[in-house]
Chains A and B, each alone.
Chain A
Amino acid sequence: MSTASDRQRILDGLSRLSRVQLLLRACLPATTVLMLVLVRVAGSELSTLYAVVVLLVSLAAAALPDSSAPFFLVVALAALWVVSVDEQSDRLDVFVLLAGWDLLVLHVAATLAGYGPPGTVVGRVLALRWAGRLGLMAAAATAVWLAARAASGLGLPSAGWVAAVALGVVLAWVGYLAVRLRDPDTADAD
């Protein structure tokens, strides 16, 4: 629940933002705007109301990068993509890759901004390390995009067993995450 003291704390924190923090937090609305542009270019009409809501979520994520707000922002942007990019459009054009990179930049910016309180200065060593990690994640996304495009270009017939294996892999990943992400105290109690 938001109280006056919470608001005061958040505003106090924002007033003490370091330059690096300001830059990182500004990345969240900026990448959100870029994603909205990509959705508009790659997809169909964009709901103004939905865009405003997403922008508000991005501002919340910028204010509280160490909370769940960035997660909801990423989910909202992905959902917007799914809804807006209809079946007629090419689902694997370059905008998909750009949108994927955009989400990753948003994710890494939120990660770096969430390392500490607003006055935290992200050092050069950490920033460079995360730049490398962002490159690795973007490379993985690019590899999958290229593979998907290649498979799409081959015009392979859809097979039920492939979908079943993929679903199995995903469900295994979900199950593994469910175990790993549980609160350790709760896990011990079990």
Chain B
Amino acid sequence: MGGVAGDDLAGWRGMTWRASHVLVRSGLFSAAAALVAVLLGRPDLLVFAVGFGVHAVVAILHRPGEDPRASSRLARDTVREGQGTRVRIGLERARGVEFVGATLLTHPWTGYHPPNGVLTHTASKSPSSTMRLVAEVASLRWGRREAGDGLVSAYSRWAGYQWGQAALPASPFTTLPVPGPFDSAAHAPHPIGLVGTHPAGRAGDGSEFAGIRPFVPGDRLRRIHWRVSLRTGALHVTSTVAEQDASVLLLVDSGVEIGASGGLGGAESSLDIAVRAAGAVAEHYLRNGDRVGLRVLGSTRHNALPTSAGGRHLRRLLDVLARISPGESRHVDAARLRFQVPAGAVVLVFSPMLSDRVVAATGLLARRGLSVVVVDTLPAGLDRREDPGHTTTERLAWRLRSLERDALLGRVTRLGIPVVAWHGPGTLDDVLRGLGRRAALPARGAAVAR
């Protein structure tokens, strides 16, 4: 990967070597002590002065000739949660530099090694024109993160001159969510694509047995069921169900985030659950050859990704998920939403279901005849209604909020939309099978026509 160059530092422009506190101390003290020694006739002060004087003279003789240039760079611009990359701080034109130190600022959900973000390097005795500092930075939560910003300074030999402190700019990088463990044995209820793994509602070439029927011209000879054919005296063939790919639309509610996020391996907020669950579902279906789209409710930028298939699409999808910013836009007008979802698609809504607008959007999709499933992402153990560690007012607030949420979930359930809490593998199996059985039933309109 190419790496992310932090800009050449804005902070170093016009910055030059200047006398350090050390040189000022040794120079001024040696001069003052020597002056007093001569004026007062105190040889003891001369003994004090001479060591400092030696330091000052040698330090001045080692004044570097040219001003360094600093730059910072990240080795990779994209990592997964829990993964790390390297921050490389370079100091060019560093021939006169003996010591370079940098202090990197720590940001939420990022961690450096060394943990305090302080890097130092001492030059060898043979002068080098380039010095490098390397720190490892790990991202502990999905999203857009920054690293590599801080201050850098350099000292000449004998610490007589100091360059800096110059500001290092931050280099942004993307942390892709680590999809949670997920697997589903249930097939999509309405596979209407071309070729895939889901049994369709019509007969065709596939691997799943559908029945045995009389031979018709055009049937393949290898499909002939000889046992039945001999018994009945007429050719019969084995028929199979066609297998098609499905379209899945992931709808992630980023309008509100409930719970505190502890990063990877820590406590999960509702948005953590939603993002990691959406990533897991997307990875599962895309690996099975299905098409997956994404829509982020509550995000103003990068909020939609049309349905598509393939490994690159998974990467694009995770990238959109990583750019989600909670609470960016809470004013979603359900009437104006255009989901661009193909017919027969399964819509999975990842939401803590605390917003009337998300319920409206979900209802809108269900009324279009799409199979909609709500995945409840409210973190378990967040209910404070009976928690004695909270005040009465807080418990009352939780109770009111829970009542509102129950009402919203009731509205969703009355629309025939199943609601399941996210628990990883198998979360969607029962509801998808239920939707599949519902899809296999004759439509109400068709029954009336018969």
B18 touches A116 (CB 8 A): no
Total interface residues in chain B, CB < 8 Å: 53
A-B contact count (CB 8 A): 153
A116 touches B29 (CB 8 A): no
Tell me if B17 counts as interface (CB < 8 A to partner A).
Answer: yes
**Cα distance A99–B46 when bound, in Å?**
12
B21 touches A170 (CB 8 A): no
B51 touches A177 (CB 8 A): no
Q: What's the least CB distance linking A173 to chain B, in Å?
A: 6
**Cα distance A110–B21 when bound, in Å?**
10
Q: Mark A149-190, 1 if CB is under 8 A from B, else 0.
A: 000100000100001001100110110010011011100000
B44 touches A170 (CB 8 A): no
**Cα distance A178–B38 when bound, in Å?**
19
Q: Mark B33-61, 1 if CB is under 8 A from A, else 0.
A: 11110111111111110111111100010
Q: What's the least CB distance linking B115 to chain A, in Å?
A: 9
Question: A16, A111, A140, A166 — which one has the most chain B CB atoms within 10 A of its CB?
Answer: A111
Give the residues in chain B near A82, CB-CB below 8 Å.
36, 40, 42, 45
**Cα distance A68–B51 when bound, in Å?**
19
A170 touches B38 (CB 8 A): yes
**Cα distance A122–B159 when bound, in Å?**
13
A99 touches B48 (CB 8 A): yes
Q: What's the least CB distance linking B46 to chain A, in Å?
A: 6
B25 touches A70 (CB 8 A): yes
Give the residues in chain B near A99, CB-CB below 8 Å.
44, 48
B44 touches A92 (CB 8 A): yes
25 intermolecular pairs with C-beta atoms under 8 Å apart = A71-B21, A78-B45, A81-B48, A91-B43, A92-B44, A99-B48, A100-B48, A103-B48, A103-B52, A110-B22, A111-B22, A114-B22, A116-B101, A116-B118, A119-B114, A120-B101, A121-B118, A122-B120, A136-B54, A140-B50, A144-B50, A148-B47, A181-B19, A184-B16, A184-B17
Q: Which residues of B contact A (CB under 8 A)?
A: 16-19, 21-36, 38-48, 50-56, 60, 99, 101, 103, 114, 116-118, 120, 122, 124, 153, 155, 158-159
Q: Which residues of A contact B (CB under 8 A)?
A: 16, 66-68, 70-71, 74-75, 78, 81-82, 85, 91-92, 96-97, 99-100, 103-104, 107, 110-111, 114-117, 119-123, 125-126, 129, 133, 136-138, 140-141, 143-145, 148, 152, 158, 163, 166-167, 170-171, 173-174, 177, 180-181, 183-185
